[in-house]
Amino acid sequence: MSTPTQTETAPKSTFARLRDLWNDYLPYWFMAPMVLVMIMITFFPGAYDLYLSLIAEPTLDVFAADFVGLRNFETAFTRGGAIHSFVITITVVVSALLLETILGFVLAALVAGVGSDRAKSFYRVLFIIPMAVAPVSLATIGRIMLNSEIGIIPYVINTGTPFVAPNFLSDVPLLTVILLDAWNWTPFMFIIFYAGLSSVPKTLIEASRVDGAPMWRRYVHVIIPYMKPVVFVATLIRLIDLFRTFGVVYGLTGGGPGTATQLVSINIYEQMFINNQITVAAAIAVVYLVLVVALCNVIIAKVGFEGVWD
C-alpha cells in the first residue's frame, strides 16, 4: 500500500478531467462533425467499393463474404474491356479539355473586347445557354439533330455546303462526343475566363500598351500570366468533371458503336446493370478512383495552387 507524498496533487474530479479533455482537443471536437460527415459520404463508400471488388458476390453478412483476391481486377482488365475504356476516357478528357479551354478563352477575349455594354450582355447570355441544357436532354436533342434521316445538321451540310455529311454517330462517334461536350461546356470556361479577364488591372494593360506591346504580346506576357490561377482552377474543375462524364455520352451513343465511345463510367454502368457483374464494376471503379486521385496529386504537385489558395 502506497503512502501519499507531499508533492502528489489531489486527484481531479471526473468533470475536471472531461473539461481538460475538451480544452486540450478543442479544435478536433469542432472538426469532428464535419469529419464524420466526410467519412460517411466519401471514405465509407470508397471502402465498401474496395470490399466489393475483392469478393465473389455481395452478401448481407460481410464476414461471410467469399474473398477472391484480385480476381475481379483480372476479369476487369481482360474480358471487362477496362483498358480500352480508360484509353477512350483519356482521349475524350484531353481533347475536350483542350478544345474547351482554347475556345472558352478566345470567346472571352472577343467578348471582353466588344465596346458596347449592351452587346457584351447579349453575347454573355448567348454563350451561356448551352451550359443550361441537362445532359440527357442534350443527348436526346443531339440524336435527333444528328440523325441522318431527319436531323438538321446533316441536312444543312448536305444542302448548304459542297460536302457530304458523315454519319456522325456511326462513322465519327468519338469526335461527335468530344464536339458535343465542347458545345455543352465551353460556356463554363468562357464565363470563368471572362470574369478573369475583367479582373486584370487596367493599369497593367495600359502600361504594356504605352510600352508598345502589340495585342498578342499583351496577352502572352501580361494578361495570361496574370490569369494563371483562374485558368488553373477552371481547367482543374473541368478536368474532374470530364472524368465524371456519363449521361450525355450514354444517351447519345450508348458507348458504341461497339465500344467506340465506351468511357470508364459507361463500362462501370454496363458491368453493373447490363452484365450483372457488381464486383467487376467495383474493381474498375476502384482503379478509376485511384487514378483520378493520383492525377489530381500530380497536377497539383507540378503546377501548384500558388496564388490561388495559399
Partner 1 sequence: MTNSNRRTFLKATGVGLLSGLAGCTRGGDGSDGSGSDGSSGGSDGSDGGTSTDGSDGELAIPLSEYEDADIDWRQFEGSSINIGAVQHPWVSAIKPAVPVFEELTGIDVVWNVLPEQQFRTKRQTDVSTGAGQFDVFYMDQVVNQFREEGWIQPLDPFFDDDSLFDEDWYEPDDLFEASRWQAHGGGYSDTWTGMPITVEVQTQFYRKDLYDKHDLEVAETLEEFRQNAQAIHENESDVVGTVGRGDKGYGMNIYILNTFLRQNGAELWDSFPDDSGLDSDGVINAAEWYVSLLQDYGPEGASTQTWSDVLSTMQEGRAGHIVSDANLFWPGLTGSDSSVADTIGIAKVPSPADGQFSPNAFNWQISTSKNAQNSEQAFLFMVWASSQPTNTWMHVEGDAAFSVRQSVWENDEFRSRVGENFAQVTLESLQAAAPDPFDRKYPEWGQRYSEELQRAIAGQKSAEEAMTQAASIAEDIYSN
Which of the residues 21 through 80 are near partner 1 (CB under 8 A)? 41-43, 45-46, 49, 57-61, 75, 78-79
Nearer residue to partner 1 within complex by CB, 225 or 257: 257
Q: Residue 307 interacts with partner 1 (CB under 8 A)?
A: no
Spatial distance between the Cα atoms of 146 and 193, rounded to a whole number of angstroms: 30
Q: How far is the CB of 98 from partner 1 (least distance, A)?
A: 19
Nearer residue to partner 1 within complex by CB, 169 or 222: 169
Nearer residue to partner 1 within complex by CB, 145 or 200: 145
Residue 69 grid cell:
483476391
Nearer residue to partner 1 within complex by CB, 49 or 90: 49
Residue 265 grid cell:
463510367
Q: How far is the CB of 250 from partner 1 (least distance, A)?
A: 4
Q: How far is the CB of 224 from partner 1 (least distance, A)?
A: 24
Spatial distance between the Cα atoms of 232 and 242, rounded to a whole number of angstroms: 15
User: How many binding residues for partner 1 (CB under 8 A)?
Assistant: 72
Site string for partner 1, 132-151 (x = CB under 8 A): ---xx--x---x---xxxx-
Please give the single-letter amino acid code of residue 131.
M
Contacts of 143 (CB under 8 A, 6+ apart): 169, 251, 252
> Considering only residues 268-297, where is the footprint of partner 1 by CB under 8 A?
268-270, 272-278, 285, 288-289, 292-297
- List 105, 168, 190, 194, residue binding partner 1 (CB under 8 A): 168
- List 124, 167, 179, 229, residue binding partner 1 (CB under 8 A): 167
Nearer residue to partner 1 within complex by CB, 21 or 237: 237
Spatial distance between the Cα atoms of 226 and 232, rounded to a whole number of angstroms: 11
- List 105, 187, 243, 283, residue binding partner 1 (CB under 8 A): 243
Please give the single-letter amino acid code of residue 271.
Q
> Considering only residues 247-266, where is the footprint of partner 1 by CB under 8 A?
247-248, 250-251, 253-259, 265-266
Nearer residue to partner 1 within complex by CB, 137 or 199: 137
Q: How far are the Cα atoms of 40, 76, 267 from residue 271, in angstroms, in the given order? A: 25, 9, 6
Q: How far is the CB of 274 from partner 1 (least distance, A)?
A: 5
User: Which range touches partner 1 (CB under 8 A), out of 14-22, 122-130, 180-188, 301-309?
Assistant: 301-309
> Considering only residues 174-233, where is the footprint of partner 1 by CB under 8 A?
none
- Find how far residue 111's CA is from the centre of its chain: 26
Say how many C-beta atoms besides its own lie within 10 A of residue 51's C-beta.
Answer: 16
Site string for partner 1, 102-131 (x = CB under 8 A): ------------------------------
